[in-house]
Amino acid sequence: MSSILVVAERRDHALADVSYQVLSKGRQLADQARVELLAVVAGSDVNAHAKELARWADRVLTVKSDRLEGLLAEPYQRIIADLIRKRKPGIVLMGHSSFAMDLTPSLSVELGIPLVTDCVDIFWQNGDVLVTRSIYNGKVNATYSFAQSEIVLITGRVGEFSVEEGRRQGQVEEIEFAFEEEFDYKKFEGYLEAEAGGVDITQAEVLVSVGRGIKDKKNLEMAEELARVLGGVVSCSRPIVDYGWLPSERQVGLSGKTVQPKLYLGLGISGAFQHLVGMKGARMTIAINKDAKAPIFNVADYGIVDDLLKVVPALVDKISELKGKTE
């Protein structure tokens, strides 16, 4: 193996967060194997993206074309397939996004290379690359090896890989590519954005997440107040959405969103595996629950076994007091 190739994804003229995640993982794998890390970015104007990617990659390959402005898999497939044939990377890595799932299956078939999707870990063992996938709705993690193949195609789950600071100054290489066909049977119309005023919990550094233990909708006010003094936002587990107390955009978990906050404070959340799947990327987790046997305590860095209706107001008062002394 001479290199690892990361395919960067753009979203509305900006690099998608998952691109940074898989790029950091690619850097780690490349350093361990002592091979070159390549990154490819395509679009009509990719110069700024190339400089950003060069902080992690040894070499950034840019493909400029107005035909790449929308996220259509077909033109991207032509470009990436051509690069793979010429550069022969041992691993091709992408984030597990809707775009990747449109692109990678047909790319795998065209090149005759194995594909494993939605991986939660990628690592070396005895010189071979292995991947871990979560199966049976997150109840079991299964590790897979590849049959003998010079190239493997992998997508990494969003939120599973931490972003390490990029310290490199990789070279940027512009690639000329001429499309030999039209793709007029499919058209990119645009992005559907969240409604104005909506909250993107995937971008929050602090999440105060509420579960069934909050007991009553009126008690959400204390969670909102705690989130305010901490500079965060309120998220929730599935029962809160089922009750209609918070919108689905606030749900963390297997059927909700995957988050990676600096602080995740769980209030009255038992910690079923469906929920833990979505929040296990948090840097620090604090759980408050009356049930000392709640599964969330198995993953929490700190835990409080008590009635959250007593603890949360006390936390708000103490945090407000401390903030007042420093202002």
How many structural domains compose the chain? 2
Q: Decide if 43 contacts 10 (C-beta within 8 A).
A: yes
Same domain as 144, residue 15 = yes
Beta strands in 151-283 (DSSP E): 152-156, 171-175, 206-210, 233-236, 263-267
Closest residue by Cα to residue 49 from 60, 36, 65, 38: 60
* pLDDT on residue 113: 95
pLDDT tens for residues 133-165?
A: 988 766 788 999 998 788 999 999 887 888 888
pLDDT tens for residues 239-283?
A: 999 999 999 999 998 888 888 899 999 999 999 888 988 898 899
Query: How would you list the strands of the sheet with 128-135, edge to edge?
Result: 140-145, 128-135, 115-125, 152-156, 91-95, 3-7, 36-43, 59-64, 171-175
- The CATH number for 112's domain is 3.40.50.620
* pLDDT on residue 197: 54
* pLDDT on residue 85: 95
Amino acid at 6: V
- The CATH number for 225's domain is 3.40.50.1220
Query: How would you list the strands of the sheet with 302-304, edge to edge?
Result: 233-236, 206-210, 263-267, 284-288, 302-304
Same domain as 220, residue 153 = no
Q: How far apart are CA 211 and CA 214, in angstroms?
A: 6
Same domain as 26, residue 113 = yes
Residue 196 maps to a domain: no
* pLDDT on residue 8: 94
Query: Residue 233 pairs with which residues in a beta bridge?
Result: 207
Closest residue by Cα to residue 203 from 255, 257, 248: 257
Q: How far apart are CA 76 and CA 90, in angstroms?
A: 19
pLDDT tens for residues 286-305?
A: 999 999 999 999 999 999 99
Which pair of structure tokens corresponds to residue 240? 């809160």
* pLDDT on residue 203: 85
Write down which residue in 175, 191, 211 finishes a domain.
175
Domain that holds residue 96: 3-175
In the chain, alpha helices (H): 17-33, 47-53, 73-87, 98-111, 220-230, 238-242, 273-279, 308-326
Same domain as 254, residue 213 = yes
* Residue ranges for the chain with pLDDT beneath 50: 196
